[in-house]
Structure 1
């Protein structure tokens, strides 16, 4: 006896064999069909078949297209009836679209049940139909096709059983019997319809439509079959012995066997069977050309239209998503386009030079002289190499987004392409240069810098690349003409066979151009020279600061920074120089349409003076520009800004502030605002407090990134004071922004005998005063090393900085400063240093530290090492203490 386990194993093996056979059978049938077709038409030349197709009357081809249109229009009725059958309201337009796309694609791709069903599910699910409803539509359309086929095929096979060719494969069952069986299937279907019965197939219940819809199914599918079969008939040559009914019978047999084979679209199988059955009436070529046309008109053309319709539909459905993708792509390209074009233009220049060094084909030159005069050919050889050198130089300007480089590059590319055609009809090189011209032409917006080409700097890598190209150009020319004996007469020889002379003249022209460019660059004055600001520039900077909503620009009044203005005189950068490092302090001050240009100007100016550009304590505002410059960004902390509209002493969250205010005022101290006009009269007392504060800290003044005690500096601002009847114990100068947007403080000092929490009291009272005056926010300055990531894959700098922030109390109370500012519930925003990559970073950081600390010795002063443990008692010693 066979055990249950053995039976299961045998059943599994049987299923595997059936599945394998299901995969292999279509392949075998398709291979046999191709082999048979090849055997029948191997003696025919392909061009003979093509010429045969052109002999078909145009009117017959037009009729075939018209019948195809009617056939697919009829097919849309399948889905329309199915929608009515499931009682789901849907416009015919949507139904027709889903029907045409799914049918046209599945007819060509094959596996109709799989492809047509998946496409219908994709399209109908977007219109609110569920899986069950879509499956009912698919079953309905399949039934509609087979009902019509069974009806028409049954009538033809029963009442018109034509005699097939002797070469056609024999059908084991008489066609009359096949026809009767097909008509019986139709009868059973209508029996179920009239009796309103349903039947099950593999556990799925199929709902048979009512008689009215069933008759419509029969009519539509019958018309569809007659239309598609008629297309083949009208494409065939006329033959009195062959009627439309003959062709319809042959078409039915070929189509049913093609469907059973599951080969996509019955490709090969349908053609092979039609070839055998039509052979008694026509020659092979007369059968092949109509079948090829039928395959193209009825399958391929609708497939293309269906595919395009599907793509358009998917695009419309994802219009918003694709727009976002397009916007992101364009944004990314805008960052990379200048660099890409710079590289391509550089390669184009190298190509022009190398082609000028290589000998041309004398045959091309000889033919060219019939069209182009010899002097013009010689001039084109010379200027072709000069255009190559210009492209090498302009590539640097394109990399830096200079608008002049963009305009000149277009002109040089165009002229270079013309010279490539004139010198030896090098259409390959000309095509590359013209193509580059047309791609560069619409990219004007990416080259926005209004800078002089003479003032641009060339990096060492750029100069090395240009040198290598020029050396290769000279070597290539010398190698190519090594058999030509040099003589002075070579310089003045002109002609088709004097290409060595042309190379020598081109070499001289290229190097003369480089010499002129170098001399002009050295002699051209640099309009952005470094100098301390004069009275006029200081007044202009004051005007810009007074119009700026942010307060950081007030550091200009320290007088230790250089200023760089934009061309519109609406914004400026303040910067310092330490060693070879050029350091800007903060973001651009003011508002200008030339912010990008101003940053680039600073970068170019530093390069012109052989320096390293860096941007210290900048926000996220201009990060893309810093990246364009090739810089990297390091996060150095976060700036805290308090919303004064929400600041109050009421509530449990502010109880600590209320205690501070009561405690200080209880001891007889109060808060006072002094106008800047009254500040000079207080200077002796303020200096006394500052000197005592510095002595207590055992250090010296920091500079550049924060203010320092200077009478001229302090006289520019009002002061916030904490005092009693006899003396001032604390002060801070007040920075205010335009439109009452922001208020902040810079220099803060207190006397050794000031009461506890004096500075916290000053901050609280100043914020309340700012709120009363209508200011929107109060800047508490930066908390160094705050907000750095500690995750596993965070940058090394973040991990080290975070470790110092958490455990670096010995050097500086970073965490205490952050905690103090956090008490005011501020909004934190990141601050960065933008600096060169690689080994230069260490030198830049050292120079910035020296600039802030007043020299290299200041980096290691006691002030920088002293702990800020008193932060809870006296608030931060400097509100904007720096990282270095």
Structure 2
């Protein structure tokens, strides 16, 4: 319950602060007319605007410096030409969305991992960027408030402490941090997180880059202001307080909050309409223009992916751009919807109607005006589908962008609006392949944040319309009044139409069919799964054939996700199974099904190459261990001797296991009794029959065995279970695995899989919170937790390639309880891999014949 309240608190706080900001704006501007603000927009000199654009370029160049110093901090030597575009896009997105750690951080994770950085290093990069941001704020703000503090407007109701005291506290924090950097060399440990200390050179660059960021951003606003009696330090003070207010408000981009605070600071020296018009231009130049450029860059990457002559240059960039494309395009779609609604509820500028009056009939013009607002409302809803990669949402968005561009011209000759829509339309066109999910938007879950954002936009545009037309007489007849310059009736029709569109969608969404409870697979499902498994190179896919897991197939039934659930926790075992092009759609479909059941999704033991996909689902990765895979095509010379210490080795097919089942059960029971465990050693005859079984016999009796599953095209042979009895000679497990390696090589397999093992990467493990680390190990490694060092040491004898595996889950505090719910069920079905324990036989040195 607490976790749910925390998730709702942020969006609710943002809506509340935005409401207060709009109320303050209304009170400040009640004596002015909308046209006074529009006049300031039209009167802005071009030289001043070009100067502001130049300062924006410098500012964003400095902002990419955050990534430069952070990469040097983690020891990466990526050149600027490689990381510069990603840093720019991440900054442009986070400036508009807010929540820098989540929005910009996810983009950086996708890009930098594609460039070879580990998840731990990317976490350090994002953390260091955040630290540098605050170092710059405290340095610039502290110096300003300590040496030349601006007057604080009483309307802000800030604590009654001296500005110089605030400045002193800010600089005190910076000096304390500088002291740590200069005097401490040991890493800092905070609740299980370990962070290396920066050097003095890092500190200098932090202050220079972060300080330059704040100064150039404030200089852009100062350059746009007309020649009134206001100093740069006054603008800088207002800018810093306004930016902090926007960040703390949880409103995306601080929109409305930033403008209100600046207005309160500077309205006594600059006329309010002039100041508000300048702020509108500033937001367009500093926020929307870089974001539009980032959308174009991603579109160009997609075009580059389609051109063979630039494939070499765009290959890696296209992959990471492809992964972040949905979020960026969703924001662009949502912003365009807001733009159309705002332009629909405000009057057309003077002179725009001249040729339209002569060419376009009044009914067509009014229908076009209403259509523009409906297109805007539709784009607000479709933005969620774009974020979720829905094919239908993509098609509808492209159609609405084209319709919006056409009606923008018909309703009032708004060619600039049509140009914006046309540019976004062109950016969307080459990206159809990125929207592959054939699902209905009605089945998608709208989070609290999305719902409140849409309602906030409808409320804010309605407020703007009433503010602009506050002198009009509103009545029920206004909705049906059609006149040449009837701006107020058009505003009413657009507001009602947008509310109807959103309301109808909301009702349809609420009335959608309830999801059915997941069921065990039928015989037909198992037959389909068997056919899919027979073509899968992943040997673990056989786990689905035991019939005790839920199988979710794609529409074409060429792939599936296998999962188990208990309570609200749903855990998918491994990556989706099926053809590689189908994996992303399968993951989305399973994730969507879990959301429809209001459950918590967890993917376990997934490969690192699929992490960007799970990040798109909003899941956070946690490294749980490494898969030990022994290469069979380039291994040691083959030892052809099949006998050792009186033991013989043979491999029997799965269908022949029945004849040996009693012997295998005897070995398993002996192994279990010596370890003091009950049903841990119990055998599942169905699992044994799914693949070949290697037997070690001594004097005719089975003394050890290994159960195996095999992948298609002889990609791998995976050892699922090893057991040995007290009659086995010392070193039998080493000899058995060596025989398995030789057998796999003779049979033409590429890899011998020895199963999942806890990670030896202490640095990466230390970056995980302690509770998450322990609960994950409890889930993955189950009953043999105490023998993990012995397990890893045993596998290391065969010189495997260690491949990382991750558990991905929603960020928050729900993971331990979910894993505890399903841990028993998952560990009981033996999916973990090679099961070895701390028996004394493993502590003896190997006795394999040379």
**Superposition TM-score tier, normalisation by shorter sequence:** 0.5 to 0.7
> What secondary structure is seen at the aligned counterpart in 2 of 1:786?
coil
Residue-by-residue CA offset, 1:643-687 (whole Å, 9 max, x unaligned) = 334556778xx9xxx9x9633x2xxx4334333333334444544
Q: Residue 872 of structure 1 corresponds to which residue in structure 2?
A: 842
Q: Which of the residues 781, 788, 808 maps onto 1:834? A: 808
Q: Residue 756 of structure 2 corresponds to which residue in structure 1?
A: 782
Q: Which of the residues 318, 324, 343 maps onto 1:336? A: 324
Question: 2:625·2:759 contact (CA, 8 Å) conserved in 1?
Answer: yes
Residues 1:679 and 2:657 aligned together: yes
Give the TM-score of the pair, scaled to structure 2. 0.56
> What secondary structure is seen at the aligned counterpart in 2 of 1:635?
strand
- Unpaired stretches in structure 2, ≥5 consecutive residues: 1-307
Q: How many residues align?
A: 531
Residues 1:603 and 2:581 aligned together: no
- Superposed counterparts of 1:333-482, under 5 Å: 333-360=321-348, 364-365=352-353, 368-482=356-470
Counterpart CA distance in 2 for 1:677 and 1:627 is 41
Residues 1:720 and 2:694 aligned together: yes
Counterpart CA distance in 1 for 2:489 and 2:719 is 74
Question: 2:628·2:800 contact (CA, 8 Å) conserved in 1?
Answer: yes
Counterpart CA distance in 2 for 1:871 and 1:359 is 85
Q: Residue 748 of structure 1 corresponds to which residue in structure 2?
A: 722
Question: 2:622·2:768 contact (CA, 8 Å) conserved in 1?
Answer: no
Q: Residue 610 of structure 2 corresponds to which residue in structure 1?
A: 622
Distance 1:749 1:810, change over 3 A: closer
Counterpart CA distance in 1 for 2:593 and 2:571 is 12
Q: Residue 642 of structure 1 corresponds to which residue in structure 2?
A: 630
Residues 1:534 and 2:512 aligned together: no
Question: 2:340·2:373 contact (CA, 8 Å) conserved in 1?
Answer: yes
> What secondary structure is seen at the aligned counterpart in 1 of 2:803?
strand
Distance 1:582 1:677, change over 3 A: same
Question: 1:365·1:496 contact (CA, 8 Å) conserved in 2?
Answer: no
The alpha carbon displacement at 1:848 in A equals 5.6
Question: 1:835·1:844 contact (CA, 8 Å) conserved in 2?
Answer: no
Q: Residue 504 of structure 2 corresponds to which residue in structure 1?
A: 516
Question: 1:558·1:708 contact (CA, 8 Å) conserved in 2?
Answer: no
Residue-by-residue CA offset, 1:423-461 (whole Å, 9 max, x unaligned) = 333333333222222232233343333333333332332
- Superposed counterparts of 1:192-231, under 5 Å: none
Q: Residue 114 of structure 2 corresponds to which residue in structure 1?
A: none
The alpha carbon displacement at 1:391 in A equals 0.4
Q: Residue 312 of structure 1 corresponds to which residue in structure 2?
A: none
Distance 1:514 1:597, change over 3 A: same
The alpha carbon displacement at 1:389 in A equals 1.1
> What secondary structure is seen at the aligned counterpart in 1 of 2:571?
strand
> What secondary structure is seen at the aligned counterpart in 2 of 1:812?
helix
Q: Residue 563 of structure 2 corresponds to which residue in structure 1?
A: 575
Structure with greater contact order relative to length (CA < 8 Å, sep ≥ 6): 2
Q: Which of the residues 659, 670, 678 maps onto 2:648? A: 670
Q: Residue 168 of structure 1 corresponds to which residue in structure 2?
A: none
Residue-by-residue CA offset, 1:187-236 (whole Å, 9 max, x unaligned) = xxxxxxxxxxxxxxxxxxxxxxxxxxxxxxxxxxxxxxxxxxxxxxxxxx
Q: Residue 241 of structure 1 corresponds to which residue in structure 2?
A: none
Counterpart CA distance in 2 for 1:322 and 1:426 is 37
Distance 1:799 1:568, change over 3 A: closer
The alpha carbon displacement at 1:347 in A equals 0.7
Residue-by-residue CA offset, 1:545-573 (whole Å, 9 max, x unaligned) = 22223311111133222222334433322
- Superposed counterparts of 1:84-233, under 5 Å: none
Question: 1:616·1:833 contact (CA, 8 Å) conserved in 2?
Answer: yes
Counterpart CA distance in 2 for 1:812 and 1:361 is 75
The alpha carbon displacement at 1:640 in A equals 1.6
The alpha carbon displacement at 1:343 in A equals 0.9
Distance 1:797 1:871, change over 3 A: farther
Question: 1:541·1:572 contact (CA, 8 Å) conserved in 2?
Answer: yes
> What secondary structure is seen at the aligned counterpart in 1 of 2:374?
helix
- Superposed counterparts of 1:786-801, under 5 Å: 786-789=760-763
Q: Residue 744 of structure 2 corresponds to which residue in structure 1?
A: 770
Counterpart CA distance in 1 for 2:565 and 2:682 is 18
> What secondary structure is seen at the aligned counterpart in 2 of 1:506?
helix
Give the TM-score of the pair, scaled to structure 1. 0.54
Counterpart CA distance in 2 for 1:570 and 1:558 is 19
Counterpart CA distance in 2 for 1:674 and 1:834 is 37
Question: 2:526·2:547 contact (CA, 8 Å) conserved in 1?
Answer: no
Counterpart CA distance in 2 for 1:567 and 1:832 is 27
Counterpart CA distance in 1 for 2:520 and 2:772 is 39
> What secondary structure is seen at the aligned counterpart in 2 of 1:621?
helix
Counterpart CA distance in 2 for 1:410 and 1:605 is 27
The alpha carbon displacement at 1:740 in A equals 3.0
> What secondary structure is seen at the aligned counterpart in 2 of 1:760?
helix
Distance 1:673 1:381, change over 3 A: same
Question: 2:577·2:583 contact (CA, 8 Å) conserved in 1?
Answer: no
Distance 1:573 1:321, change over 3 A: same
Counterpart CA distance in 2 for 1:800 and 1:608 is 28
RMSD in angstroms over aligned alpha carbons? 4.1
Larger Rg: 1
- Unpaired stretches in structure 1, ≥5 consecutive residues: 1-319, 859-864, 877-884
Distance 1:850 1:463, change over 3 A: farther
The alpha carbon displacement at 1:469 in A equals 0.8
The alpha carbon displacement at 1:388 in A equals 0.8
Counterpart CA distance in 2 for 1:519 and 1:503 is 24
> What secondary structure is seen at the aligned counterpart in 2 of 1:825?
coil
Distance 1:701 1:435, change over 3 A: farther
Counterpart CA distance in 1 for 2:784 and 2:439 is 49
